[in-house]
Amino acid sequence: MPVCFVVIGGGPAGVQAASTAARLGAQVTLVERDVVGGAANLWDCVPSKAMIATGSLVALARRATVRGLESLSPEVDLELLGARVREIEHKLATSMTEQLLSQGVEILAGTGRLVGPHRVEVSADDGDLRALDADAVLIATGSYPRVPDWAPVDGKRVLTTRQAYPPPEIPDRLVVVGSGVTGVEFVHMFRSLGSKVTLLVSRQQVLPQKDPEVAAALETDFLESGVVLCKGARAMAVEHTDSGRLVVRCEDGRVVDGSHMLLAVGSVPASGGFGLEHAGVEVNHAGHVAVNQHCQSNVAHIYAAGDVSGRLPLASVAAVQGRKAAEHVMGLHSRQHRHLDYDKAASAIFTEPEIADVGLAEAEAFALGRKIRVTKVPLATNARALIDGDARGFVKIVSDPSTGIVLGGSVVGDRAAELVSVIALAVTANLRVLDLAESLFVHPALSEALAEAAE
């Protein structure tokens, strides 16, 4: 008898788990209440990057003179933009669905709920109720945006990130609350689309978790493009004025005025309301389903992957967790099998300049008292960056001074999210700086900066 594997949630974690388990011979049912592809496709990664791509094009057109053209001022058509975002989502959801079906995965449209350790009940969208028996279950239910008590979200002028694809209108003056990855991406998106933006930064640095040098490069760019940074400003209330404006009040008494406000203050794991308690699955104080290296919860045959597991909240990580969980269900971990190393996950911030990093950061190494070698090359001397008219940023590589092994790196600049893959591969495969320095990269290309930084 094949292993019966039920996956609740069809985001990157659920889709990858279902696909892997089916390929390995399991009988798989994927339960999804919205669309296959999950929040990643519908609300988070894909729509935000599609809007950012349009914003970046607008910004590029305005800077056309740097490439010897007259500067242009394209008008943004919100209806067309919205249609494009939905078309991309639809294409991705369709191709994922087709692939899963071709692998023999059963997809049930509805809400899944655990009613016992080995039983999942599905309330289908058409009202039907179906019970599924499972040898193993994966919880891949994701997360949703956190809304603080003081914020009266109305989807019109006080928005969560899910209400911004696109918003009803381009905000005249947007106040963004939250300066983590999501907050700064939305600052970049809306300033490129023409909004005047104020960013409330609760600490003294945007991107508080990032290398200070990387964060400083972004702050400089924000300031140069007219973004107002309010540092040490923690929002605590928002009021609508008679003149139709919003007034955001901060804990230290500062008051910021805007036409719209966007919240980017983190997310809440989707772990409630679907019967985890009936299966004895524990959640931690933050509501995450705590998991071990195989993505098992405290109940051995119930796994969790993706945002609900409280590890790195990235679609890329969710997908690999899903694959690892499926491989464990199918007994593959006993063969040659590499554990997921969260410290080696590359991540990117789709601002301008783009920011990406992987592995050990310089500041982190100093905090740990670890000896490192840091080499840095500015893109200002890179031929391709100059040809493209955007030579902002740098490549930084962190290595072990005694072995030369690459431990990490950051890229700030055009296409950083692509360039960092080479450093990520070096970190995962324990390559040495010499391996990068002696690689024959293309000329003229941004990747030459990687080889140079490795010299």
Ligand X SMILES: Cc1cc2nc3c(=O)[nH]c(=O)nc-3n(C[C@H](O)[C@H](O)[C@H](O)COP(=O)(O)OP(=O)(O)OC[C@H]3O[C@@H](n4cnc5c(N)ncnc54)[C@H](O)[C@@H]3O)c2cc1C
Residues forming contacts to ligand X in the complex (CB under 6 A) are 8-14, 31-34, 38-40, 44-45, 48-49, 111-112, 140-143, 161, 182, 270, 274, 306-308, 313-316, 318
Measured in residues, the chain has a length of 455
CB of 220 to ligand X, least distance (A): 23
Nearer to ligand X, 315 or 407 (CB): 315
Nearer to ligand X, 96 or 233 (CB): 96
Q: How far, in Å, CA of 419 to CA of 279, rounded?
A: 44
Nearer to ligand X, 256 or 315 (CB): 315
Quickly count: other Cβ atoms within 10 Å of residue 205's Cβ.
16
> Looking at the DSSP assignment, which residues form a beta bridge with residue 173?
196
Nearer to ligand X, 279 or 318 (CB): 318
CB of 44 to ligand X, least distance (A): 3
Residues contacting residue 276 through CB under 8 Å, at least 6 positions apart: 114, 139, 282, 283, 289
CB of 36 to ligand X, least distance (A): 8
DSSP letter, residue 193? T
What burial letters (b/e) apply to 429-445, b meaning 16+ CB within 10 Å? eebbbebbbeeeeeeeb
Nearer to ligand X, 63 or 162 (CB): 162
CB of 90 to ligand X, least distance (A): 15
Q: Which amino acid is at 45?
A: C
CB of 275 to ligand X, least distance (A): 9
Q: Which amino acid is at 99?
A: Q
Nearer to ligand X, 182 or 202 (CB): 182
CB of 226 to ligand X, least distance (A): 23
CB of 106 to ligand X, least distance (A): 14
Nearer to ligand X, 306 or 409 (CB): 306
Nearer to ligand X, 14 or 391 (CB): 14
Nearer to ligand X, 40 or 302 (CB): 40
CB of 349 to ligand X, least distance (A): 9
Nearer to ligand X, 112 or 399 (CB): 112
CB of 193 to ligand X, least distance (A): 16
Both tokens assigned to 174? 């947007």
What burial letters (b/e) apply to 207-232, b meaning 16+ CB within 10 Å? beebbebbbebbbebbeeeebebbee
Quickly count: other Cβ atoms within 10 Å of residue 394's Cβ.
21
- CB of 36 closer than 8 Å to CB of 97: yes
Q: How far, in Å, CA of 123 to CA of 31, rounded?
A: 10
- CB of 248 closer than 8 Å to CB of 261: yes
Percent helix, strand, coil in the chain, to 5, is 35, 25, 40
Helix or strand run (H / E) with residue 23:
helix 12-23
**How far, rounded to the nearest angstrom, does the alpha carbon of residue 80 sit from its chain's CA centroid?**
25
- CB of 123 closer than 8 Å to CB of 111: yes
CB of 386 to ligand X, least distance (A): 28
- CB of 112 closer than 8 Å to CB of 274: yes
Q: How far, in Å, CA of 348 to CA of 328, rounded?
A: 29
Helices H, strands E: what count in the chain?
12, 22
- CB of 303 closer than 8 Å to CB of 273: no
